[in-house]
């Protein structure tokens, strides 16, 4: 071979790294130029250029598109962010177009009657002479609204994230040698960073799953009912003390109970959040944790690896591993702890189903890291998280603290965990939210506090709520089942509007039976009674799940609560709205072009629920691209494109 002549290299526009213009021309010149090969040259040249066009992350962005730090955006992102690009439908092949705000920036003039053709719900939305107001996002909104009701728009109504608040969408930029060319969505949507998030997953937990007969009833009766309501996951306990009650050599594991639980849930088409709790006292200071005893880390690793090897493959469908539960619990022991039955952790800081690692975040992190290493060695794609935090501050309620009634949790545990380096040891964070306990702040405030803590430590990861419920009183003359309806139609939406919330689990699906030690049987958390009767809230749950499915926007103001959930490419959206003032509030909502497919409003009144009819359903007819609603205090669920 002539050393001065380099061998011809194949055209490889897909090699890692941003190819330069020189490489593009060299790649083309290296192809044969004989007359017989001219057709091949033309085809190959076209394919090279097309491949470079379709891979925006491989092309250098224009000078105005480069952020101060972080990944280089693709060519189309020089004038439109990745999140904003989601608002363009996959079917379109039109360059990015500027958008007109879908929500007017000014209130409408008084309009005592809706325009002709509008149907105003009257069941609990009484028409008044109030001024018709067109809702607009608050000044501090973090969403940019893009419309479809104009000829220039090419996308369905949607919300796109903006890190700096509401801004105007720039006009399209013409391609030039020094400026990125527009990339059309059929290719842009293939980028994982720009794809719309998946549907939020709802889950539940069966509080009596350790009882074999009740578990059998749950499988036969409740799993079909849960799936029909929209439940997609079950949180299930894996109790180390039951699987390995004695430390033997070789290890002797009894997987029969967990095989049945995880197998039944998986066979029903649900994935499983495995919560590893209830530790044997031969390995741990307490059954709730506290610390590993000397020399026991190897035993913990062996147990976790054996569990991962067993359940990380079919027929089991494990969504994630949760190491512990409410691990921010303190190690204090009081009279109530000493009075518990032995099977509920008598004389320990809490029950075996709880956690007691407060003040020992570094030791807990060592516990989690050991589990993570063993799980990932078996299943590199597994997701692992800490035990869901109670995340309450008892000193927010000084009266309860003084009376000895405050919860035994450490609000600083998360800070200590992150300071110890815990961010890299979990794939998401989780906490529990119960409105029935007065020491807990509101949902939006609590979620914002957690998110702020994560960001302060440079750890903005997804969030799951692994326990939530609203109590009813099935043994009282008034069972107060409407409290759960109120929760599912109003109170929960301030949480569902959080864009970083990936999953939420109702704890638990069925009420506790009478006589269960340590449980308040006069107030129950289930959506199904112990007699297997569905409560009123279960009729509402499917609508709450479906109406909160999509990218969320909080468009509320001081008079009206309004939440919108939509998908960028489906053309379907859901809205939930009510008056905050206790008076009728008239609002005017723009409707997109696909509204001709139907707009439906639902109101969940008690009479309809008790009659088993779920809700009052009203068909809305837009006029001139708008609908007018007179909102009362009862929430209204609106579906566009039904």
Mean pLDDT confidence for 535-555: 96
Of the candidates 555, 394, 536, which has an alpha carbon nearest to the alpha carbon of residue 472? 536
Hey, what's the torsion of the CAs at 468, 552, 202, 387, to 10 degrees?
-50
User: Residue 216, Cβ neighbours under 10 Å: how many?
Assistant: 12
Mean pLDDT confidence for 546-550: 94
Mean pLDDT confidence for 122-144: 35
Indicate whether 83 pLDDT > 80.
no
Mean pLDDT confidence for 566-582: 88
Distance CA 573, CA 158 (A): 8
Distance CA 271, CA 319 (A): 6
Which pLDDT tens digit goes with each residue over 309-358?
Answer: 999 999 999 999 999 999 999 999 988 899 988 888 999 999 999 999 99
Distance CA 416, CA 5 (A): 63
Question: What pLDDT, on the 0 to 100 scale, is given for residue 402?
Answer: 55
Eight-class DSSP state of 596: G
Which pLDDT tens digit goes with each residue over 192-230?
Answer: 333 446 789 999 999 999 999 999 999 999 999 999 999
Of 73-77, 218-222, 244-248, 512-516, the range with the lowest mean pLDDT is 73-77
Between 276 and 340, name the one with better pLDDT: 276
Q: What are phi and psi of 41, to 5 degrees?
A: -60, -45
Residue 589 — left, alpha, or beta (φ > 0 → left; ψ -120 to 50 → alpha)?
beta
Report the share of the chain in percent with pLDDT over 90: 55
Q: Which two tokens stand for residue 484?
A: 């759960």
Which pLDDT tens digit goes with each residue over 234-267?
Answer: 999 999 999 999 999 999 999 999 999 999 999 9
Which pLDDT tens digit goes with each residue over 400-437?
Answer: 555 555 568 999 999 999 999 999 999 999 999 998 87
User: Residue 384, Cβ neighbours under 10 Å: how many?
Assistant: 23
Distance CA 208, CA 604 (A): 30
Of the candidates 517, 523, 537, 497, which has an alpha carbon nearest to the alpha carbon of residue 204? 537
Mean pLDDT confidence for 268-291: 98
Long-range contact set of residues 241-245: C-beta below 8 Å, sequence gap at least 24: 241/278, 241/279, 241/280, 241/281, 241/287, 241/352, 242/278, 243/303, 243/307, 244/280, 244/303, 245/280
Helix (H, G, I), strand (E, B) or coil at 607: helix
Q: Assess contact for 469 and 541: CB atoms under 8 A.
A: no
Between 600 and 120, name the one with better pLDDT: 600
Question: What pLDDT, on the 0 to 100 scale, is given for residue 521?
Answer: 58
Distance CA 548, CA 560 (A): 18
The residues with which 467 forms a beta bridge, in sequence order, are 432
Which pLDDT tens digit goes with each residue over 363-397?
Answer: 999 999 999 999 999 999 999 999 999 998 876 66
pLDDT band at 18 (very low <50, low <70, confident <90, very high): very low
Q: Which two tokens stand for residue 502?
A: 């990936």
Q: What are phi and psi of 613, to 5 degrees?
A: -100, 5
Please, what is the average pLDDT of the chain? 75
Q: Which DSSP string do the residues of 31-99 spell out, in sequence order?
A: S--SGGGHHHHHHHHHHHHHHHHH-GGGSPPPTTS--SSSSPP-GGGGSS-HHHHTTS-TT--SPP---
pLDDT band at 113 (very low <50, low <70, confident <90, very high): very low
Question: What pLDDT, on the 0 to 100 scale, is given for residue 129?
Answer: 34
Indicate whether 37 pLDDT > 80.
no
Question: What pLDDT, on the 0 to 100 scale, is given for residue 589?
Answer: 85
The sign one gets for the Cα dihedral 11, 16, 21, 26 is negative
Total-model pTM: 0.72
Question: What pLDDT, on the 0 to 100 scale, is given for residue 403?
Answer: 58
Which pLDDT tens digit goes with each residue over 430-465?
Answer: 999 998 876 677 889 999 999 999 999 999 999 999
Mean pLDDT confidence for 3-14: 36
pLDDT band at 108 (very low <50, low <70, confident <90, very high): very low
Distance CA 559, CA 570 (A): 30
Mean pLDDT confidence for 266-282: 99
Could you tell me how far CA 457 lies from the centroid of its own chain?
21
The residues with which 237 forms a beta bridge, in sequence order, are 275
Q: Which residues contact 201 (CB under 8 A, 6 or more apart)?
A: 232, 233, 271, 319, 502, 503, 504
Indicate whether 191 pLDDT > 70.
no
Between 29 and 533, name the one with better pLDDT: 533
Indicate whether 40 pLDDT > 80.
no
């Amino acid at each position: 071979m002539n050393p001065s002549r380099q061998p011809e290299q194949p055209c490889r526009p897909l090699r890692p790294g941003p190819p330069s213009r020189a490489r593009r021309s060299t790649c083309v010149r290296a192809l044969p130029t004989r007359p017989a090969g001219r057709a091949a040259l033309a085809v190959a040249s076209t394919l090279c250029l097309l491949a470079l066009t379709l891979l925006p992350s491989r092309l250098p962005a224009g000078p105005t598109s480069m952020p101060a730090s972080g990944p280089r955006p693709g060519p189309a992102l020089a004038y439109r962010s990745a999140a904003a690009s989601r608002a363009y439908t996959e079917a379109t092949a039109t360059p990015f177009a500027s958008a007109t705000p879908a929500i007017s920036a000014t209130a409408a003039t008084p309009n005592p009657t809706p325009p002709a053709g509008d149907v105003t719900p009257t069941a609990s939305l009484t028409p008044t002479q109030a001024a018709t107001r067109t809702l607009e996002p608050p000044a501090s909104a973090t969403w940019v609204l893009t419309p479809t009701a104009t000829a220039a728009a090419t996308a369905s109504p949607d919300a796109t994230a903006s890190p700096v608040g509401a801004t105007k969408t720039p006009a399209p930029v013409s391609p030039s040698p020094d400026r990125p060319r527009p990339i059309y969505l059929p290719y842009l949507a293939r980028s994982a960073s720009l794809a719309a998030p998946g549907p939020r997953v709802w889950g539940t937990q069966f509080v009596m799953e350790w009882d074999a007969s009740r578990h059998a009833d749950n499988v036969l009766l409740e799993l079909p009912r849960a799936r029909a309501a929209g439940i997609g996951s079950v949180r299930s306990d894996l109790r180390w003390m039951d699987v390995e009650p004695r430390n033997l050599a070789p290890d002797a594991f009894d997987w029969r109970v967990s095989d049945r639980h995880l197998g039944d849930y998986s066979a029903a088409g649900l994935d499983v959040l495995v919560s590893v709790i209830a530790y044997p006292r031969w390995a741990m200071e307490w059954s709730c944790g506290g610390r590993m005893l000397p020399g026991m880390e190897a035993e913990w690793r062996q147990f976790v690896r054996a569990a991962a090897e067993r359940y990380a493959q079919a027929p089991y469908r494990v969504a994630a591993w949760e190491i512990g539960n409410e691990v921010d619990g303190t190690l204090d022991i009081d009279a109530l702890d000493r009075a518990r039955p032995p099977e509920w952790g008598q004389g320990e800081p809490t029950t075996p189903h709880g956690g007691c690692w407060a003040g020992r975040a570094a030791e807990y992190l060592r516990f989690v890291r050991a589990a993570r290493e063993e799980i990932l060695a078996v299943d590199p794609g597994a997701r692992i998280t800490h035990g869901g935090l109670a995340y309450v501050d008892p000193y927010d309620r000084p009266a309860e603290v003084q009376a000895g009634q405050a919860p035994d949790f450490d609000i600083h545990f998360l800070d200590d965990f992150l300071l110890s380096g815990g961010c890299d040891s979990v794939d998401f964070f989780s906490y529990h939210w119960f409105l029935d306990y007065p020491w807990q702040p509101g949902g939006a405030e609590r979620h914002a506090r957690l998110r702020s803590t994560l960001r302060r430590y440079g750890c903005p990861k997804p969030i799951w709520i692994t326990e939530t419920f609203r109590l009813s009183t099935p043994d009282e003359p008034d069972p107060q089942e409407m409290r759960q309806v109120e929760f599912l139609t109003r109170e929960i939406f301030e949480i569902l509007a959080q864009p970083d919330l990936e999953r939420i689990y109702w704890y638990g699906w069925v009420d506790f039976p009478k006589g269960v030690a340590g449980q308040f049987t006069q107030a129950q958390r289930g959506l199904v009674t112990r007699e297997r009767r569905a409560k009123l809230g279960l009729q509402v749950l499917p609508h709450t799940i479906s109406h909160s499915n999509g990218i969320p926007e909080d468009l509320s103001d001081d008079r009206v609560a309004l939440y919108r959930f939509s998908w960028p490419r489906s053309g379907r959206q859901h809205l939930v709205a009510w008056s905050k003032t206790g008076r009728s509030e008239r609002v005017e909502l723009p409707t997109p072009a696909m509204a001709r497919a139907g707009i439906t409003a639902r109101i969940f009144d008690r009479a309809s629920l008790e009659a088993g009819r779920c809700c009052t359903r009203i068909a809305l007819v837009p006029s001139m691209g708008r609908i007018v609603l007179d909102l009362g205090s009862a929430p209204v669920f609106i579906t566009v494109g039904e």
